Amino acid sequence: MVVPYGNTSFLGVPFTKAFFGEAGIPYAVIYDQLGSFLILSTVGLVTLSLYSGQKASLSAILTRIFTFPAFLALLLALPMQSSMLPDLLMQLLSWLAATLTPAALFSIGLYLKLRLDRDRFFPFAVGLGIKLLLAPLLLLGLFWLLGLRDLPAEVTLFEAAMAPMVSSSMLAIMAGLEKRFVASLLGYGIILSFVTLPLFWLLISKGV
């Protein structure tokens, strides 16, 4: 629930804008909404149903997916454009969206431990190693073999190198899956990504 999903919105959009400019934002948004978030809303909910001790029948999993508010909101928003909504409603939605990340990070911070238990260090290192280094490096190699070096490929690679996702981590905590360990992966992952993301941008900018 933590390693496969990237923080492609909260970190992804502003980091993409900072390193690639406005031209990279549409690709970051597509990656976030039709990639990370769509997979979280389907595969992620299946994972929760299977491992959180709750009923995991096919009907229960499908019910959970198609009643997940964020998934329903995504389906509703796909055929719409911002111009179809009144300015006042758009402003209200923007204000509500702005409260999500601070509230989520505050909740995560309550569980964050500065010192990890010794038996948790190895899975912690493996998890963040895969998320921040191994997975994006494998994707970099694949793109190199395929000759994909345009802006969409560069932004895709950059998004793949993001820290763990806040939403998937919160769902894992709400389901009771190793709350402090999940919080540590998320918190330290965000901190470390401020080092790893510029390094990947350097690799991308040099055409490696």
CA distance 32 to 187: 20
Domain that holds residue 19: 12-205
The whole-chain average pLDDT of the chain stands at: 83
192 falls within a domain = yes
For residue 113, pLDDT beyond 80: no
2 falls within a domain = no
Unique residue bearing structure tokens 């702005």: 98
167 falls within a domain = yes
Average pLDDT over residues 143-151: 90
66 falls within a domain = yes
pLDDT grade for 128, boundaries at 50, 70 and 90:
very high
Q: What is the pLDDT of residue 127?
A: 94
> Would you tell me the crossing angle of helices 151-160 and 179-205 to the nearest 10 degrees?
150
3 falls within a domain = no
Alpha helices in 54-134 (DSSP H): 58-66, 69-77, 87-111, 118-129
Q: What is the pLDDT of residue 104?
A: 65
Reduced to 3 states, what is the DSSP secondary structure of residue 160? helix
More confident residue, 12 or 93: 12
| 0.75 exceeded by pTM | yes
Unique residue bearing structure tokens 């994707």: 139
7 falls within a domain = no
43 falls within a domain = yes
Question: CA 19, 21, 27, 28 torsion: positive or negative?
Answer: positive
pLDDT digit string (tens) for 49-97?
788 776 666 776 677 778 877 778 777 877 776 667 788 888 887 787 7
pLDDT grade for 184, boundaries at 50, 70 and 90:
confident
